[in-house]
Amino acid sequence: MAYQIDYMWHPTHKSNDIVAAEKFFKDVFDRPSLPVEVCLPPTELSPGYPRDYSILTPIQEVMFDCIDPKKYVVEGRQTFEDVSTPHLFCLGWAATGVEEIYKVCVEHGIRSTDQANRLGSSTAPPVTGFSTNDPLFFTLPESTGLRYQIYPLSASGPPHPQGVKGWKLPPVRETDPLSLEFCSHHTILTSNPIKGLNFLVGILKGKIIHKGRNELLETDSTYISLGDGVYELAVPTRAGSFAAEDLKFNWPFDTYHSLTYKVQDLKKAERHLKDKNIRMLFSNENTIITNPEDTIGIPWGFTDKLTPGDFRLPG
């Protein structure tokens, strides 16, 4: 059976204050958030499953998931460790042929868990904590560098903008203070990109579109096109750099570091961020990166330049 990654399901962000996160997305991105409860199956289909642990924020094609670990308790156990400072944690995709992806993972020695962190079997993927029993699994970072989630394209879980038939990337809103077009790329820091490459390219069939130096982050980076997005595997090259220090967040595994958005008007985005008293961490003529202390623990990037090899166009 053929399988494929269709689109990013959502990034997962660990937060110690999702009320503050919701305010941030409204004030800075001009994007409303949804409580996760309105996106879950009815209570009778998910008895005992938490319903107030997260907010979901659509930002162009990305459905951003912000979780309070203290509230994400599945079957009586807190699934994620607490954080004292908010930080990106993992990411996942909607896929066609989830069972086949799981089978290939098992064949390559990649172990996975369910939502309660129980190891999956060698024969079939774990299923959701809902009575719908859709297949869903999370890879172990020991196997893939980072924790990745795979979920069926046709599953009955939380809705995603791209799950609607005929969905197209929305054009830049005239009133958008950041003039967002789409997510340019997601940055994953690593000291050893082999595991990530084996998974993203070898198993999930992503395509390497560019290799080069990221001068702002001081990394040697490989950019992979997969599904509807681009993923940067970035190896810090200087001890003590910002990227090298952030790699320690998930050590000895990879760290999900940031999202960078392609914007129509970089100067407009920069003015808006400064108006919101958000400091810049790094910048050059094409890209600005925010100070994560001002932006819910994430060094958001904004750029007016496509990654070489990325031929996506705005809506």
CATH number, domain of 27, equals 3.10.180.10
Closest CA to 228 of 109, 310, 131, 140: 310
Q: How confident is the model at residue 159 (pLDDT cuts 50, 70, 90)?
A: low
* Residues 60 and 133 reside in one and the same domain: yes
Closest CA to 141 of 192, 97, 183: 192
* Residues 154 and 184 reside in one and the same domain: no
pLDDT for the residue 45:
77
| Mean pLDDT to the nearest integer, 37-48 | 80
Residue where a domain terminates, one of 125, 158, 191 = 158
Note whether residue 172 is domain-resident: no
* Residues 15 and 148 reside in one and the same domain: yes
* Residues 118 and 225 reside in one and the same domain: no
Residue where a domain terminates, one of 127, 158, 189 = 158
Note whether residue 310 is domain-resident: no
Torsion of Cα atoms, 1 then 90 then 157 then 160, to 10°: -90
Residue 296 amino acid letter: I
Position 219 pLDDT exceeds 80 = yes
pLDDT for the residue 170:
86
* Residues 197 and 262 reside in one and the same domain: yes
* Residues 40 and 85 reside in one and the same domain: yes
Note whether residue 184 is domain-resident: yes
pLDDT for the residue 315:
54
Closest CA to 278 of 298, 303, 256, 307: 298
* Residues 105 and 247 reside in one and the same domain: no
* Residues 147 and 8 reside in one and the same domain: yes
What is the spatial distance between Cα 114 and Cα 250, in angstroms, rounded to a whole number? 20
| Mean pLDDT to the nearest integer, 142-168 | 77
Residue where a domain terminates, one of 158, 191, 209 = 158
Give me the phi and psi of 110, to 5 degrees please: -90, 120
* Residues 154 and 201 reside in one and the same domain: no
Q: How confident is the model at residue 169 (pLDDT cuts 50, 70, 90)?
A: confident
Note whether residue 174 is domain-resident: no
Note whether residue 163 is domain-resident: no
pTM of the full structure: 0.94
Note whether residue 297 is domain-resident: yes
| Mean pLDDT to the nearest integer, 254-262 | 98
Q: How confident is the model at residue 156 (pLDDT cuts 50, 70, 90)?
A: very low
Domain of residue 245 covers 180-303
Note whether residue 311 is domain-resident: no
* Residues 8 and 148 reside in one and the same domain: yes
Closest CA to 241 of 259, 214, 212: 214
59-69 in b/e form (b: 16+ CB < 10 A) is: bbbbbbbbbbb
* Residues 189 and 149 reside in one and the same domain: no
- Indicate the number of domains in the chain: 2
Percent of the chain with pLDDT over 90: 77
Lowest mean pLDDT among 25-39, 175-189, 286-300: 25-39
* Residues 9 and 154 reside in one and the same domain: yes
Note whether residue 308 is domain-resident: no
273-309 in b/e form (b: 16+ CB < 10 A) is: beeeebeebbeeeebbbbebebbbbbbbbbbbebbee
| Mean pLDDT to the nearest integer, 184-210 | 98
Q: How confident is the model at residue 133 (pLDDT cuts 50, 70, 90)?
A: confident
pLDDT for the residue 276:
98
Query: Locate tokens 């997601």: which residue?
Result: 186
pLDDT for the residue 76:
84
| Mean pLDDT to the nearest integer, 3-12 | 93
Average pLDDT score, the chain:
92
pLDDT for the residue 131:
58
Position 185 pLDDT exceeds 60 = yes
